[in-house]
Structure 1
């Protein structure tokens, strides 16, 4: 049975590459976010700083290209990864929360429920039916 890390590597490889039509700074930011997606220290400001990007300009471009802000994008991708782990592994919810980049279980629950309408445990149970 694959480990959580192996599942997450597979998930990361399945993410769509940045659209070539996007501005170069947005493509670079999306690529950076994909590389660091499961790092609990990932912050929009840190990503922008690491790439030498200006705050307002790249944030506006990002939202225009992807239809959401940087934090929302990261949360959406982390929830998608958590859904894979909840369906495909017996790992505890806490372990999954930590694996996908949430340092706080309560934050993971809140973000997951907002995205799916279910708690992680309820989502897993519903997938078994």
Structure 2
């Protein structure tokens, strides 16, 4: 696991840029716990992003209500194939597919936008023995 930048709130730069590119969109979210080299999948959900005013502190506060101790959150905008927010059924299906892929390989987290509790970017790296 590596943190690409020590400056906090990289999320606050990512979300407005993503919104500028896509407009309103649906994002899949996965919360994880990190213990050394192990990543445990904790909770997942989806949400619609309407506007670009949301900041990391708001999202972090929302995640605190998940009832688990989490160390990282990964955000996966739903495919650009879909314009705007998607129907709940599509989001649920996309989330189930993502969860299955993550159970097989935690490096799938790198396909999304992965942040630590301070809003800094993270990346899953393979451990070579």
Question: What band does the TM-score fall into relative to the shorter chain?
Answer: under 0.3
Q: Which has the larger radius of gyration?
A: 1
RCO greater where, 1 or 2, for CA within 8 Å and sep 6 or more? 2
Structure number with higher strand proportion: 2
TM-score w.r.t. the length of structure 1 is 0.27
Structure number with higher helix proportion: 1
TM-score w.r.t. the length of structure 2 is 0.27
